[in-house]
Structure 1
Amino acid sequence: MTKSLWMGMVLALSMTTTSLCVATSDFSRALNANLSVSGQMTPEKFKILLQDGFKSVIVNRPDQEAGNTVKVNQLRDIAEKSRVSVIYQPVSSGAISQADVQEFAKYYNELPKPILMVCRSGSRSAALFNQAKAQGLIHE
């Protein structure tokens, strides 16, 4: 086997492996070592994310929100098979209250980690975390 053919095979293999890793990590965005956020959920995407080792899930997207295609009970059914707890803390987009921030902080501090937060785009979940952190409510 020539050196150029060998190098081409190694490059192709490494690119394939990298593509697979990126594909699964594209489903969520880490905010710290203990928390990631994810957007629009499907049962298939949720199953893949649970394989990443999340021990808890907080769903911030209301079941009745426009465009929501998967309800919290569907996610809970999938999570139970992996022994992952699901907390339903619906928060309206653009209307996060101080009570929402305090409730999230309580969950964050008590739930097994790592935690996955789910909403439409990940922004609402990230805002909850960032506000709780800025207020000193998060215990690392």
Structure 2
Amino acid sequence: MTPVLAESAALSTALTQNVSVSGKMTEDKFRVLLSQGFRSVIVNRPDQEPGNTVTVYALRNIAEKKQVSVIYQPVQSGKISPTDVTEFARYYHELPKPILMICNSGSRSSQLFHQAKTAGLINE
């Protein structure tokens, strides 16, 4: 395995065969992740969150060139609501897979996925 591939493999964490999460995003990192075959992206990090350096608009521009869907579903860390979980489950069922979920560290996206799974809204 070349160093570039080893580095890119660590850019996301697979939760299942269909869903992976990734933390802090840059345009370059996003391009590498898209080259790994993700067909949809759900951005859970609010654009205005402190420390966020790339907007969903910028990510969407990159993704459109690869024909990848980008959904903006910002959720507040530690404040994921039942409505957030239901909305995520709807996206999960509608979007082409595999799906990449993005937030600051990957944690809130993972929580959103696991809450939907625990609620029986997705079966993986």
| TM-score, normalised with respect to structure 1 | 0.86
Identity percentage of aligned residues: 65
> Structure 1 counterpart of 2:115, which letter?
Q
Count of matched residue pairs: 124
Tell me how far 1:101 sits from its aligned partner: 0.3
User: Residue 59 of structure 1 aligns with which residue?
Assistant: 43
> Structure 1 counterpart of 2:100, which letter?
L
Q: Give per-residue Cα distances to partners, 1:81-121, cap 9 Å, x unaligned.
A: 00000000000011000000000000001100000000000
Q: Could you tell me which of 98, 120, 123 is aligned with 1:136?
A: 120
Return the structure number with greater helix share.
Answer: 1
Q: Give per-residue Cα distances to partners, 1:3-43, cap 9 Å, x unaligned.
A: xxxxxxxxxxxxxx253332111100000000000000000
Q: Could you tell me which of 109, 118, 125 is aligned with 2:102?
A: 118
User: Residue 52 of structure 2 aligns with which residue?
Assistant: 68
RMSD, aligned CA: 0.9
Residue 36 (str. 1) matches residue 20 (str. 2): yes
Q: Could you tell me which of 66, 78, 99 is aligned with 1:82?
A: 66
User: Structure 2: which 5+ runs fail to align?
Assistant: none
Q: Could you tell me which of 78, 81, 93 is aligned with 1:97?
A: 81
> Structure 2 counterpart of 1:19, which letter?
P
> Structure 2 counterpart of 1:131, which letter?
Q
2:15 match: secondary structure: strand
